[in-house]
Amino acid sequence: MSQYIDIETLNQQIALESGFAKILMEKHASVIVGQKQMMNRLLIGLLCRGHILLEGMPGLAKTLAIKTLASSINASFNRIQFTPDLLPADILGTNIFNPSTLDFSIRKGPIFANFILADEINRAPAKVQSALLESMQERQVTIGKETFKLEEPFLVLATQNPIEQEGTYPLPEAQVDRFMMKVVVQYPNMEEEREILRRNLDGTIHQPVQAIVNTEDILKARSSIEKIYMDARIENYILNLVFATRKPAEYKLIELSPLINYGASPRASIFLAQAAKASAFLNQRGFVIPDDIQNVAKDVLRHRIGITYEAEAENIDQDQIISSILSKVVVP
């Protein structure tokens, strides 16, 4: 009975503290037509200190989404356009010699912001990609002999174009694994695109966005998410999903064994649990249910599963494999 009372109290607390998320979603809808799932994933990443990799065609409001989120939260935003000639110092900063004082001073790079848009991250060579990903993991930057902590909240939104191969440097699997989610951004439907067309023609698409949330609210929400209850059966469900990607035969998924080259890493278990808690928070619940896990499973797992040549030959991708796993693993 006491546990029930605790859950009820927690539900009330979460409902009260998650109110800002609904306001952010409404603000997003007033600027961007559709793409609700993309905004939902950005919020989950923000609430879980996880970075997001967006994959989609040009013109699908990826840049506008992160700008809108940054403006709504009264946070700093920098966009970095990745190109083959980019250097790590162009992102992190460098020491600048001052002839008048005969001394060096540090000039910080664009990584020093709350929200970073790494546009077309796969256009820069591995050294530059690694410089960004190190900042993502350690949340600090070392320039010369000095180390600087990055201010929270700190969110990297990286984009990559799925159709271009020439002049690109694909992210290695170990680096991609550091992203909490890989979100595939889809085209809008016809009615959504009609609304986009009308907004652009009448000028309402360019209305400025006012800050409605402080960074302190985000940090407070993170503390609340840590308190969200996760039952042991839910934990087992997460582990079973992840282990099914590694040993599918043990979960009566023998047909997947020749299709999977390697399964999801331990980061998948951690991020599935965190994302599920954030999903519960956004739905104003103080506890996690299986729907929360199923809702985020593809975005957390799709870039952590390696497929074989046989799977590619049969046109089977990671999403189809994850769907098969979700349909077979027992739901608590």
Task: Specify the pLDDT at position 1.
Answer: 37
Digit-coded pLDDT (tens) for 99-120:
777 777 788 889 998 888 888 8
Quote the percentage of the chain above a pLDDT of 90.
26
Q: Between the ranges 9-18, 29-38, 303-312, where is the mean pLDDT highest?
A: 303-312
pLDDT band at 2 (very low <50, low <70, confident <90, very high): very low
pLDDT band at 165 (very low <50, low <70, confident <90, very high): low
Distance CA 101, CA 118 (A): 35
Distance CA 209, CA 247 (A): 48
Mean pLDDT of 283-303: 92
Task: Specify the pLDDT at position 12.
Answer: 79
Please state the pTM of the whole predicted model.
Answer: 0.86
In the predicted structure, residue 292 carries a pLDDT above the cut 80? yes
Task: Specify the pLDDT at position 3.
Answer: 47
The mean predicted confidence, pLDDT, of the chain is 85
Distance CA 331, CA 221 (A): 28
Mean pLDDT of 168-175: 74
Task: Specify the pLDDT at position 208.
Answer: 65
Task: Specify the pLDDT at position 164.
Answer: 62
Distance CA 322, CA 63 (A): 28
Please give the C-alpha separations between residue 175 and each of 43, 130, 163, 171, 277, in angstroms, as whole numbers.
22, 8, 20, 6, 24
Helix axes 266-282, 215-226, angle to 10 degrees: 110
Q: Which residue has 């499973």 as its token pair?
A: 297
pLDDT band at 203 (very low <50, low <70, confident <90, very high): low
Residue predicted with more confidence, 232 or 212: 232
What are phi and psi for residue 55, nearest 5 degrees?
Answer: -120, 125
Digit-coded pLDDT (tens) for 26-47:
777 777 887 888 888 999 998 9
Record the tokens describing residue 179, joined without a space: 């992203």
Residue predicted with more confidence, 30 or 88: 88
User: Structural domains in the chain?
Assistant: 2-204+213-219 (3.40.50.300), 230-328 (1.10.8.80)
Residue predicted with more confidence, 45 or 3: 45
